[in-house]
């Protein structure tokens, strides 16, 4: 049977196009029940043969949810107690249009055989197909909207299922929250339930009911307390958001701009974003609850710049949510006048100060509308509402509590508190839980959300680690069976089949003296090196990278999984791999004294480091040694060792030095990070026992130089071969005003800083040396790093070639090639390079572009997770041993200073007590907090300014209300002593 | 949002499975003024072909002493696609299609039987919905048979694309515009001799064989349908004019 879809569509050019699509209807689509014998057998048929009937129904029923149920309540659907769902094609298509992310989550559920989900292609089935509204418009009185048509299609499918399965004593029930749809279903004799009614029929439904959010409330019995809350909600708290149409118009005329909001980690009411001000790309500040207008971190917002009179000084203050301590209940939604007045005062003060220091003013703006929410599930804890008593009455254990409101404190300090309504408050207090956001109404001070699941007790390492991974959206489940099936079937007994493998393209390099240099304990060895003198006086140097692309073929389940993970994530206590361990630490890892497959870059170089020629080919190698950095360093230093490997390493080092010199001359910036490494004790506990700074030796630089060289050459090669699709890594020059504060501060110390090119920046950084404080140089470098933009993956075709520039490395083109075991980008680059040297293969530019976007997000998440893990362990480290340490001031705020403690790599705020602060002055010109000598309390005059070395006391406190239980590092100033209150 | 060409359930966007052809419809002997004509629909791709000849060449200089010349005109109607195209101009892509049609049918027609003569084939694409070349070849094949020109065999054609890890048969416009590599294959079904193979995108060599095999299957299916039509049409013809 054939139907033609005919519809008209306006094209991009504005003309009208008539689109005709064929639509074939078929009779061979299976219903998906294993009990069914009449349907065409189907491999995907997965619905259970027999089902226990729900209370109140005659037969066991499959569940058919509508689109809204899946879209709004996917958390519930993902709950393991829900199975035997029929997902209709109509629903799936609608969902794909609504949210691709939701669609993918549903697909994942469908792929899980234990959940018994089945996709019924109802639109292609001759008996369940429902014509499009356009085709029936002439026959029905009122034109049917596409949504109504889809609802009709869903009802038709449920009806068909019931008729089809009647003989098997099975049925299907429609689950929808749409009252009208349910009514229509009932009129046609189709069983239909609301999600709430359905969930209540399941055993153990209480946590599920909570997950429904407002939709889980009993519509017939609103509690009296809520009525009060509703009344107080009538007061409008926030300005209204502009309508999408007016936002679009505003952006078109330049009144509004659009950008991604980043909330400051120190102050949840302060955010920055990039905007064009006077045709320059600069950072813009949005501060205060009203101006932020319900925007949250990562949201894409439309904003309007304030006139210059309202621009603010870049000095802000530390503000955490504890400042506005409110109780849950009637006053929670009331406008907090004090707070807002406070903000206005600040603005006024700033305006006064502006005359003196104009260059330090930051443009300000306000949010007019939210284009795209970046809502994700949040991890945190519930705060006990005032007056709540924890019942320890065993008799009440099984009684379902009434719904209660409580505030949820996210771990992420940039996120606001969330109002959560739950029936199981007793059980959730003191637990790390996940909450999904529902809405942020205009008349509610805080957003509302619903409970999703429990991770574990607060402070429990496993729960905290999982929270950390969830917070950063990192897939950490074990690899599934389909992925593991892609591994070589010989397992760890797999060996290189020397005679047959990839002849003749693969070159046998097993005779070369190749070695690898890595940190101690490294098991995933990506890279190995060799060098040897050539008869003509030049040197042959080679970089050999694990040939992961040999094992991971495109579009296999393993490849798809890796492309979703994008990168391995390194936490303090564990590593979350991108590839299964067998590959990562064994078959791909270039371990010593076994044959391994590699992708090699081999150069002929002059002793001065000039590249004469480059070759790329796949190879097999046999690494002769896996050195640690220390061992390699020993061989560099000890010239008496004359074995091949030692001379090899020294030769490499000689070349690396030459390469480095060239790179620095070209303007590469040496950056620094304050990272430290925790030493964990060996017991199960894995408590951190010590910290050590990451040390840099010549051997580190040796490896780094060769990796850079390989990456640059590979980048050139793939860019030439695939000018459209090549995957590159670029690092844009930072916006000019980011450096303003730093230039000023360094200038006060008598060092000029020129930042117009990376060369000048690098030279000025080298010149900054304080003989009395060797750490000063590193400090400035750390702060310079903070001013830089993030490097990003790009698809060559989407950017003008001038945009390939890598600012930090000062090279015209760069990519990632050298770590395919732990980065997906490298794997892609391997495939590209292989295609480039064989001159075949297909690469789609759009696909690469999409991939680059995903990679960038995942990489940032992975980085954030690593940092969060370090913070977690820092807190554990100091939990029982407060310390006093030296610290440097990185930033001076109005009521606090941000300091860096070099020994532990901790960066944190030192909030000054309010009482002392009253006696201090804020020096706008020098950006310093000063106080005069006070004879009465015997305090000397003092000041806190940028780069100053101070002493702080470190200890761990429970921050926030008791129930929130955030472990928080608290720093207090010890030296110089503040004036006493 | 990118739509998948073949859903995990195994259906394409129009409800076909990967190995299924579209519905096709044939008609021959549409015009009296020419020697042979045919109209072919494959899905929404529609093609009208007329054949004149063998006859004296319109341009003497073009004639060959040992065989007939096959000339092909290929035109696409302005209303054939979703958006109306401007007036017809010589289009290089069209010239190319014409050239490949010419090469195809020079291989199938027994041209040596008609030295110094011309066989004129006019192809008019009425509606385009993917696989235009394959449809044109099938239509020309029917028109030549309708004209009674001796051929070694039918020429049947079919296209296939390659997406993900599997080939898909008989692409429609939507699938074509997804940018996957598309192979068009024309063969003489009885000997399975390939007369034309056309592909404009890159495809990994490993994938060519499964794609070509699927195309071949498609061509054979097409052959059965065309043969059945010709059989019924000639029966029809004998019924109407028994003396002929």
The CATH number assigned to the domain holding B212 equals 3.30.230.70
Condensed to tens digits (0 to 9), the pLDDT of residues A180-191 reads 999 999 998 888
The tally of domains found in chain B comes to 1
Interface contact A7, partner B, CB < 8 A: no
pLDDT band with cut points at 50, 70 and 90 for residue A605:
very high
- Answer whether A580's CB lies under 8 Å from A561's CB: no
Beta-sheet pairing, A2-10 with A928-931: unpaired
pLDDT in tens, A363-409: 888 898 888 888 888 888 888 777 666 655 555 555 566 777 888 88
Per residue in A472-514, pLDDT (tens digit) is 888 888 888 888 888 888 888 888 877 666 667 788 888 889 9
Q: What is the ipTM of this complex?
A: 0.89
Has residue A164 got a pLDDT over 60? yes
Question: Contacts by A275-284 with C-beta closer than 8 Å and gap 24+?
Answer: A275/A303, A275/A305, A275/A363, A275/A365, A277/A305, A277/A363, A280/A735, A280/A736, A280/A737, A281/A735, A282/A363, A282/A735, A282/A736, A282/A737, A283/A362, A283/A363, A283/A735, A283/A737, A283/A738, A284/A259, A284/A362, A284/A363, A284/A364, A284/A365
Q: Kindly indicate the confidence band of residue A329, based on its pLDDT and cuts at 50, 70 and 90.
A: very low
Residue B75 lies in a domain: yes
Q: Tell me how close the Cα of B66 comes to any Cα of chain A, in angstroms.
A: 43
Domain range spanning residue B166? 24-222
Report how many Cβ contacts below 8 Å link chain A to chain B: 66
Residue B31 lies in a domain: yes
pLDDT given at position B157? 96
For A773, which DSSP code?
Answer: B
Q: Is the minimum CB–CB distance between A18 and chain B shorter than 8 Å?
A: yes
- Which of B15, B173, B178 is the mutation pick for testing A, counting most A CBs within 10 A? B15
Chain A residues in contact with B9 (beta carbon < 8 A): 44, 89, 119, 121
Identify which of A570, A408, A596 has the alpha carbon closest to the alpha carbon of residue A494. A596
- Of the residues B6, B8, B9, B202, the best mutation for testing chain A's interface (the one with the most A CB atoms within 10 Å of its CB) is B9
Does A841 contact B202 at a Cβ distance shorter than 8 Å?
yes
Instruction: Give the pairing of strands A257-260 and A300-305.
Output: antiparallel
Of B180 and A544, more confident: A544
- Contact flag A842-B202 (C-beta cutoff 8 Å): yes
The DSSP symbol for A919 reads: T
pLDDT given at position A325: 39
A5-14, A52-61, A546-555, B53-62: least confident range: A5-14
User: Is B13 inside a domain boundary?
Assistant: no
Please, which residues 85-124 of chain A have a Cβ atom closer than 8 Å to chain B? 89, 96-97, 100, 107, 110-111, 119, 121, 123-124
Closest Cα in chain B to A847: B2
Q: What is the pLDDT of residue A65?
A: 92
Which is it for strands A928-931 and A365-372: parallel, antiparallel or unpaired? unpaired
Rounded-to-integer distance, Cα B22 and Cα B168, Å: 12
Give A817-820 contacts, CB < 8 A, sequence gap 24+. A817/A545, A817/A710, A817/A711, A817/A714, A817/A715, A818/A526, A818/A527, A818/A543, A818/A545, A818/A707, A818/A710, A818/A711, A819/A526, A819/A527, A819/A545, A820/A526, A820/A545, A820/A546, A820/A547, A820/A548, A820/A549, A820/A588
Q: What is the mean pLDDT of residues A579-590?
A: 88
Torsion angle, alpha carbons of A508, A513, A519, A520, to 10: 110
The dihedrals phi and psi of A879, each to the nearest 5 degrees, come to -55, -45
User: Is B36 at the interface with chain A, CB within 8 A?
Assistant: no
Instruction: Give tens-digit pLDDT for B124-180.
Output: 999 998 999 999 999 999 999 999 999 999 999 999 998 877 899 999 888 888 878
DSSP A935: T
Domain-embedded: residue B237: no
Tell me the pLDDT tens digit for each residue of A95-132: 988 888 888 889 888 888 888 899 999 888 888 888 87
What tokens appear for A195 in the block?
């999600």
Please tell me which of the candidates B3, B43, B179 has its beta carbon nearest to residue A22: B43
Averaged pLDDT of chain A: 80
Question: Comparing C-alpha atoms, which of A770, A717, A797, A796 is closest to residue A947?
Answer: A770
Token pair 């809405």 is found at A439
- Cβ-Cβ contacts under 8 Å, A841 against chain B: 202, 204
Rounded mean pLDDT, A294-312: 86
Question: Is there a contact between A23 and B14 if contact means CB atoms under 8 Å apart?
Answer: yes
Residue B100 within a domain = yes
The answer as to whether B83 is a domain residue is yes
What confidence tier does A48 reach under pLDDT thresholds 50, 70, 90?
Answer: confident
> Do the chains contact at A15 and B201, CB–CB below 8 Å?
no
Average pLDDT over residues A320-340: 39
Touching check for B205 and chain A: CB below 8 Å?
yes
Residues 120-149 of A with CB under 8 A from B: 121, 123-124
> Under an 8 A CB cutoff, do B8 and A107 touch?
yes
B144 vs B52: CA distance, rounded Å: 9
For residue B138, being part of any structural domain is answered with yes
Residues of chain B with pLDDT > 90: what percent?
59
* Cα(A967)–Cα(A949) distance, integer angstroms: 26
- B243 part of a folded domain: no
The residues with which A680 forms a beta bridge, in sequence order, are: A688
Beta strands in A340-444 (DSSP E): 361-362, 365-372, 378-383, 404-410, 418-422, 431-439
At A507 the pLDDT is: 87
Global confidence as pTM: 0.68
B23–chain A Cβ distance below 8 A for any pair:
yes
* B15 contacts A23? CB cut-off 8 A: yes
Closest residue in B to A92 (Cα) is: B7
Our CA-based measurement puts residue A299 at a distance from the nearest CA of chain B, in whole angstroms, of 20
Residue A341 pLDDT class (50, 70, 90 cuts): very low
Nearest to A627 by CA among A749, A546, A514: A514
Predicted pLDDT at A840: 61
Taking the CA of residue A456 as centre, how many other CA atoms within 13 Å lie in the half-sphere pointing to its CB?
10
According to the model, what pLDDT value does residue A497 have? 77
| pLDDT at A623 exceeding the cut of 70 | yes
Q: Residue A928 forms beta bridges with which residues?
A: A923, A945
Place of tokens 């003509």: A536
Q: Whose CA is closest to A167, among A53, A63, A59, A64?
A: A59
Of all residues in chain A, the percent with pLDDT exceeding 70 is: 85
Give the separation between CA A981 and CA A931, rounded to whole angstroms: 12
Is A11 near chain B, with CB under 8 Å?
Answer: yes
Nearest CA in chain A to B171: A22
Query: What was the pLDDT predicted at A221?
Result: 47
Helix (H) / strand (E) containing A85: strand A85-88
């Amino acid at each position: 049977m054939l139907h033609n879809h005919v519809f008209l569509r306006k094209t991009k050019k504005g003309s009208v196009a008539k689109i005709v699509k064929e639509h074939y209807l078929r009779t061979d689509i299976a219903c998906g029940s294993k009990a069914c014998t009449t349907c065409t057998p189907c491999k995907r048929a997965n619905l259970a043969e027999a089902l226990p009937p729900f209370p109140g129904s005659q037969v066991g029923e499959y569940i058919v949810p509508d689109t809204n149920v899946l879209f709004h309540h996917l958390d519930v659907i993902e709950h393991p107690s829900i199975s035997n769902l029929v997902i209709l094609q109509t629903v799936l298509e609608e969902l794909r249009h609504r949210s691709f992310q939701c669609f993918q989550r549903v697909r994942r559920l469908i792929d899980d055989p234990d959940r018994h989900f089945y996709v019924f292609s109802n639109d292609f089935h001759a008996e369940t197909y429902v014509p499009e509204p356009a085709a029936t418009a002439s026959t029905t009185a009122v034109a049917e909207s596409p949504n109504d048509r889809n609802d009709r299609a869903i009802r038709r499918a449920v009806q068909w299922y019931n008729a089809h399965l009647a003989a098997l004593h099975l049925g299907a029930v429609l689950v929808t929250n749409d009252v009208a749809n349910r009514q229509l279903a009932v009129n046609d004799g189709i069983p239909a339930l609301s999600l709430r009614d359905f969930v209540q029929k399941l055993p153990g439904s209480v946590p599920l009911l909570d997950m429904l959010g407002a939709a889980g409330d009993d519509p017939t019995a609103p509690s009296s307390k809520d009525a009060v809350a509703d009344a107080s909600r009538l007061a409008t708290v926030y300005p209204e958001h502009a309508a999408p149409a007016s936002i679009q118009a505003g952006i078109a005329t330049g009144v509004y701009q659009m950008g991604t909001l980043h909330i400051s980690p120190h102050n949840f009411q302060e955010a920055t974003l990039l905007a064009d001000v006077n045709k320059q790309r600069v950072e813009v500040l949005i501060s205060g609850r009203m101006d932020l207008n319900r925007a949250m971190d990562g949201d894409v917002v439309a904003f309007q710049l304030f006139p210059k009179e309202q621009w603010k000084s870049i000095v802000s203050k530390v503000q955490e949510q504890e400042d506005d301590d409110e109780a849950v209940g009637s006053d929670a939604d009331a406008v907090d006048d004090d707070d807002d007045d406070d903000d206005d005062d600040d603005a006024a003060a700033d305006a006064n100060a502006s005359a003196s220091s104009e260059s330090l003013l930051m443009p300000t703006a306000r949010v007019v509308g939210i284009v795209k929410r970046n809502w994700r599930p949040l991890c945190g804890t519930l705060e006990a509402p005032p007056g709540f008593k924890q019942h320890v009455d065993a008799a009440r254990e099984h009684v379902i509590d009434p719904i209660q409101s409580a505030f949820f404190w996210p771990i992420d300090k940039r996120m606001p508190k969330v109002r959560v309504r739950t029936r199981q408050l007793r059980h959730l207090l003191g637990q790390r839980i996940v909450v999904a956001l529902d809405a942020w109404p205009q008349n509610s001070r805080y957003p509302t959300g619903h409970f999703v699941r429990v991770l574990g007790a607060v402070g429990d390492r496993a729960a905290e680690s999982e929270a950390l991974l969830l917070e950063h959206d990192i897939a950490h489940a074990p690899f599934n069976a389909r992925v593991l099936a892609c591994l070589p079937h010989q397992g760890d007994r797999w060996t290189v089949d020397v005679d047959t493998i990839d002849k003749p393209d693969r070159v046998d390099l097993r005779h070369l003296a190749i070695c690898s240099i890595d940190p101690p304990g490294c098991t995933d060895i990506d890279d190995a090196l060799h060098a040897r003198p050539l008869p003509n006086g030049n040197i042959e140097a080679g970089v050999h990278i694990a040939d992961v692309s040999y094992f991971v073929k495109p579009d296999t389940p393993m490849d798809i999984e890796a492309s979703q993970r994008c990168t391995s994530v390194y936490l303090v206590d564990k590593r979350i791999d991108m590839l299964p361990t067998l590959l990562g630490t064994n078959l791909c890892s270039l371990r010593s004294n076994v044959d391994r497959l590699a992708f090699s870059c081999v150069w002929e170089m002059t002793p001065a480091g000039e590249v004469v020629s480059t070759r790329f080919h796949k190879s097999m190698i046999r690494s002769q040694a896996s050195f640690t950095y220390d061992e390699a360093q020993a061989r560099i230093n000890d010239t008496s060792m004359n074995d091949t490997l030692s001379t090899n390493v020294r030769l490499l080092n000689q070349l690396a030095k030459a390469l480095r010199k060239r790179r620095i001359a070209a303007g590469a910036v040496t950056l620094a990070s304050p990272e430290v490494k925790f030493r964990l004790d060996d017991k199960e506990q894995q408590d951190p026992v010590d910290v050590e700074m990451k040390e840099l030796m010549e051997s580190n630089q040796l490896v780094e130089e060769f990796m850079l060289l390989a990456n640059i050459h590979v980048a050139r090669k793939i860019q030439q071969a695939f000018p459209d699709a090549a995957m590159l890594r670029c690092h844009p020059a930072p916006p000019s005003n980011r450096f303003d504060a730093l230039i000023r501060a360094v200038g006060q110390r008598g060092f000029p800083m020129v930042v117009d090119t990376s060369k000048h920046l690098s030279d000025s950084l080298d010149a900054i040396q304080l003989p009395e404080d060797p750490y000063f140089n590193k400090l400035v470098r750390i702060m310079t790093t903070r001013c830089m933009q993030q490097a990003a993956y790009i698809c060559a075709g989407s950017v003008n070639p001038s945009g390939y520039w890598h600012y930090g490395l000062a090279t015209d083109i760069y990519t990632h090639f050298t770590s395919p075991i732990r980065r997906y980008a490298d794997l892609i680059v391997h495939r590209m390079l292989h295609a480039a040297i064989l001159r075949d293969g297909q690469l789609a530019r759009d696909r690469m572009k999409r991939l680059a976007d995903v990679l960038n997000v995942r990489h940032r998440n992975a980085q954030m997770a690593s940092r969060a893990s370090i913070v977690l362990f820092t807190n554990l480290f100091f939990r029982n041993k407060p310390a006093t340490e030296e610290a440097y001031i990185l930033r001076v705020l109005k009521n606090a200073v941000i300091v860096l403690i070099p020994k532990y790599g901790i960066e944190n705020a030192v909030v000054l007590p309010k009482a002392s602060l009253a006696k201090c002055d804020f020096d706008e010109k020098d950006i310093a907090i000063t106080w005069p000598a006070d004879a009465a309390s015997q305090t000397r005059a003092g000041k806190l300014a940028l780069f100053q070395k101070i002493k702080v006391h470190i200890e761990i406190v429970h921050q926030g209300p008791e129930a929130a239980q955030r472990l928080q590092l608290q720093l207090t100033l010890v030296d110089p002593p503040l004036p006493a209150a | 949002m990118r739509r998948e060409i073949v859903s995990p359930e195994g259906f394409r966007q129009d409800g076909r499975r990967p190995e299924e052809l579209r519905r096709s419809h044939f008609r021959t002997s549409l015009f009296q003024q020419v020697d042979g004509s045919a109209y072919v629909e494959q899905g929404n791709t529609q093609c009208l072909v007329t054949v004149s000849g063998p006859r004296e060449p319109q341009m003497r200089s073009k004639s060959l002493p040992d065989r007939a010349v096959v000339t092909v005109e290929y035109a696409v109607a302005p209303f054939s696609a979703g958006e109306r195209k401007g007036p017809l101009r010589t289009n290089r892509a069209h010239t190319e299609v014409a050239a490949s049609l010419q090469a195809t049918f020079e291989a199938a027609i027994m041209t040596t039987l008609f030295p110094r003569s011309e066989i004129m084939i006019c192809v008019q694409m009425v509606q385009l919905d993917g696989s235009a070349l394959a449809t044109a070849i099938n239509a020309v094949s029917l028109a030549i048979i309708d004209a009674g020109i001796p051929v070694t065999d039918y020429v049947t054609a079919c296209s296939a694309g390659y997406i993900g890890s599997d080939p898909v048969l008989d692409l429609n416009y939507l699938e074509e515009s997804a940018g996957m590599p598309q192979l068009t294959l024309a063969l003489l079904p009885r000997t399975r001799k390939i007369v034309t193979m056309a592909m404009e995108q890159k495809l990994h060599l490993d994938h060519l064989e499964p794609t070509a095999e699927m195309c071949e299957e498609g061509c054979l299916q097409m052959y059965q349908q065309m043969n059945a039509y010709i059989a019924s049409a000639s029966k029809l013809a004998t019924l109407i004019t028994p003396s002929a």
